[in-house]
Structure 1
C-alpha cells in the first residue's frame, strides 16, 4: 500500500458494528465487564479508548512502528518518553531543539535527577564525544526548530546502537509523509500532532511511536500511569486531519519552495534558511533521508525592530506560536517559541531578534509573496 493510500485506509478503517466510514467518537469513561477481568478490550478510558486506539494503530502503521500512543499535547508525549529514565541518567540533546523541549528538560526533569548535554547533532564526532557511561539516549530534531539544521538520522542511529543508547527523534516538521526515522534506525519517534498532523489549528495533541513491541509496552505503562492521554474528540479530529496529510504536505512544500527562492533573491534579507535551497548545508542529506523538504522557512531581516514592522504589516500570515496549519503563520522565535532559552545561548546558536520563522500554508503562493513584499518594503 502506497503512502497516500495508507493515509486514507491505514489503521482501523471505519466501524464494523454499524458500517460507518469514519471511526466513531467513543465519548465514554468506563466499560461494562461481563465478569471481573472479562471485557471486550477496554476497561477505563485512561488505559484505552476505542477512538484513541484507532488513532494509535493508525500512526504506528504510518510511521512503521510496533506501537503508537496518543497524548494530550506534544509536551505530554515527550514528558512521558522522558519518564522512562531514572535519576542519574544522562541524555544527549540537540542544541537547537524546540524551546519547550529545552525548558522541560532543564527546568523540570533536571530537578528529578536527569542530566543533559546539549550538542550539535550535525557533528557526529561531538555526539560521540558527549557519550558517558551513564548516557541512555540521544534526543534530536531534524530539521531543527527554528534554524532548520539537518542531522544524519542513520549515522546517529549507528552511534546509538554501538553505545547501547536509544535514539529518539522529533519528526514534527517533516511528518511521516516526508520522513520516517524508524526506518532509518531510530527507536522512538514523536510528534507535536497539533502541527502538520492535525493541520487545521483545531486540536492540541502529541503522538509517540515505538519501533519495537517491548519499548511500546513500557511506554504504554507510563502513558497509563501518568495519564496525559488524548481525549476521544481530539483523537477523532486528528484521525480526520491526517487523511489529507499527503495532499496538504505537497501543497505546503510547493508554496515553500517558491517563497524560499523569492526571499533568497532579495537584497534586504540577511539570510534565508530552507533545506530545499541548494546552498543549504543539509540539502543533499535531506534528499538522501527524506522525500521532501517541508514547509518551514526562517529568514533574518536584520533587527528586532524590522521584524516587528514586518509582523505588524502582514495580512495573510497570522502572528501565532504554532505551525503546520493550512493557514500561513509567522513568528519571531527569540521572543516567542524560544524565549525560554537564555539570550546568550540564543546568540550562540544564531537565533537573533531579527530571525523570522514562517510556516507556509496552502494559500495561493502569489498572495503570500505579495503580502511579504508589502510588509518588507
Structure 2
C-alpha cells in the first residue's frame, strides 16, 4: 500500500510509513523492541537495520509520517524536544557563530543556548521576531541561524515565517521554526520557506501526556544527513516504545486539534469578558498584534491561551491552585487541560534576564473535555 503525497493530512497521519506488516498483516506498526538485528552476511543487513541507536523500524515509521505531515523529505525522532534542539544546534552551528532567538523564547531553549551554547562558543541576540527591522538589524556577518517560535511560549507572539526565511537567505543563514504550539496540522513552516522544523512531540503530536520525544524535519538533503549523523553519534534517539506511542497519538492529531481550537476559542471569550482578567494572549483575537500574520500562515489559532490577572502574582498563583479540571502542571498539548504559572514553573530559568515573563501571567493548555465543564471550572477559579 502506498500513500500519495497529495492525500489529505489525516490520511497521511494514519498511513504514511505504516503499511500492514508484510509477515502477519498487522495493521498497526509493531514495536520492534530490540537493540540489534541479525546479519546473514558480514556487513550486509536484511532491511538496512543493524543497531537500534542508528535505526529502528518503529522509529522509521514515525519519522516518515512526521516528514510527510510537515511536507519535508527527512525526519529524525529524538528522545526529547530538547535533544532535538541540541542536535540542531550542533549540526548547524560552530564555535564563533551567532544566532538570533525570540525575545520571548521558551525557557528550555533559552537555557540550552545561554548556558550550554555560549560556553561552547556561540553568541546570540534576543529580539522580537515580529519586528522584522529589529531582526535585520540583529544580523551579523557570523549569523548562521534564526531560531523562531510561532506562536511563542508563553506570550503567544507571532512571527512571519515567510519574511524571516527571506532574511535568513539573505544572510546565508538557516531558519529553524519551533512548531510545537501549532503542530503540523495548524502550520507547516517548510512550505513557507523555513529550513528546519522542530517539535517537542511530547506535546500535541503525542497528545496524551504519556511519552517524551522530539523531532527535526527538513526538506534539505544535507541537513537531513547531518541530523541523522548527530542522532546516531550523540545517541539521544527515540526508543521503539516511545516511537510507537507517539505514532499512535499522531493518528488522531487532526481531530484533536479541531477540538482544542474549538474549546480554546470559547475559553478566550470567557476571559475577555471577565473583570478579574487583564490582557488575554491568543492569536485568534483580532486585537492580537500578530492576528493577520497568524491568519495567513495557520489553519486555526491553536489550543494555547495565556492571560494576566488583576491582583498580580499572588492572585495568579491562587487561581492556579483553585481549578479542578485544569490540572496544575507543566507541559501542554495533551487531551487533558493544564494550568500553570510560567514565571515560577516553565519559565523560571529566564528570571532576571531580558526574557523574563510577567509574574501575573497564567498559561492554559486547553484540552478536549466538554467545554461547559471547562468554562465552569475556570469561572469558579477566577471568582
Instruction: Give 2:72's aligned residue.
Output: 65
**Aligned-pair distance for 1:346?**
4.5
* Corresponding residue SS for 2:100: strand
Instruction: Give 2:379's aligned residue.
Output: 373
**Aligned-pair distance for 1:32?**
1.0
Cα distance in structure 2, aligned partners of 1:161 and 1:346: 26
Matching of residue 47 in structure 1 with residue 54 in structure 2 = yes
TM-score scaled to structure 1, two decimals? Answer: 0.97
Question: How do 1:10-159 and structure 2 match up within 5 A?
Answer: 10-40=16-46, 41-84=48-91, 85-159=93-167
Matching of residue 309 in structure 1 with residue 318 in structure 2 = yes
**Aligned-pair distance for 1:3?**
1.1
Cα distance in structure 2, aligned partners of 1:268 and 1:38: 67
Matching of residue 183 in structure 1 with residue 203 in structure 2 = no
- What does the per-residue CA deviation read over 1:70-106, in whole Å, with 9 as the maximum and x for residues that have no partner? 0000000000111021110111111111100000100
Contact kept? 2:104, 2:355, Cα under 8 Å: no
Q: Structure 1 regions of 5+ residues with no counterpart? A: none
Contact kept? 1:11, 1:59, Cα under 8 Å: no
* Corresponding residue SS for 1:275: coil
Instruction: Give 2:13's aligned residue.
Output: 7
**Aligned-pair distance for 1:35?**
1.9
**Aligned-pair distance for 1:294?**
0.4
Contact kept? 2:16, 2:61, Cα under 8 Å: no
Q: Which of 218, 235, 238 is equivalent to 1:230?
A: 238
**Aligned-pair distance for 1:17?**
2.1
Cα distance in structure 2, aligned partners of 1:14 and 1:102: 42
Matching of residue 249 in structure 1 with residue 252 in structure 2 = no
**Aligned-pair distance for 1:8?**
1.5
Contact kept? 1:138, 1:165, Cα under 8 Å: yes
- What does the per-residue CA deviation read over 1:157-211, in whole Å, with 9 as the maximum and x for residues that have no partner? 0111111110000000000001000000000001000000011010000011012
Q: Which of 341, 351, 357 is equivalent to 1:342?
A: 351
Cα distance in structure 2, aligned partners of 1:224 and 1:307: 44
- What does the per-residue CA deviation read over 1:225-255, in whole Å, with 9 as the maximum and x for residues that have no partner? 1110010000000000010000000000000
TM-score scaled to structure 2, two decimals? Answer: 0.96
Contact kept? 1:346, 1:352, Cα under 8 Å: no
Cα distance in structure 2, aligned partners of 1:37 and 1:172: 39
Cα distance in structure 1, aligned partners of 2:172 and 2:17: 32
Cα distance in structure 1, aligned partners of 2:317 and 2:227: 42
Distance 1:265 1:112, change over 3 A: same
Q: Which of 333, 349, 361 is equivalent to 1:355?
A: 361
Cα distance in structure 1, aligned partners of 2:45 and 2:216: 26
Cα distance in structure 1, aligned partners of 2:165 and 2:354: 27
Matching of residue 292 in structure 1 with residue 300 in structure 2 = yes
Matching of residue 326 in structure 1 with residue 335 in structure 2 = yes
RMSD of the alignment, in Å?
1.0
**Aligned-pair distance for 1:344?**
5.0
Q: Which of 269, 276, 294 is equivalent to 1:268?
A: 276
- What does the per-residue CA deviation read over 1:32-87, in whole Å, with 9 as the maximum and x for residues that have no partner? 11222211200111100110111111101111111000000000000011102111
**4+ runs deviating over 3 angstroms:** none
* Corresponding residue SS for 1:118: strand
Cα distance in structure 2, aligned partners of 1:226 and 1:61: 25
More off after superposition, 11-20 vs 90-99: 11-20
**Aligned-pair distance for 1:314?**
0.4
Contact kept? 1:304, 1:354, Cα under 8 Å: yes
Contact kept? 1:256, 1:295, Cα under 8 Å: yes
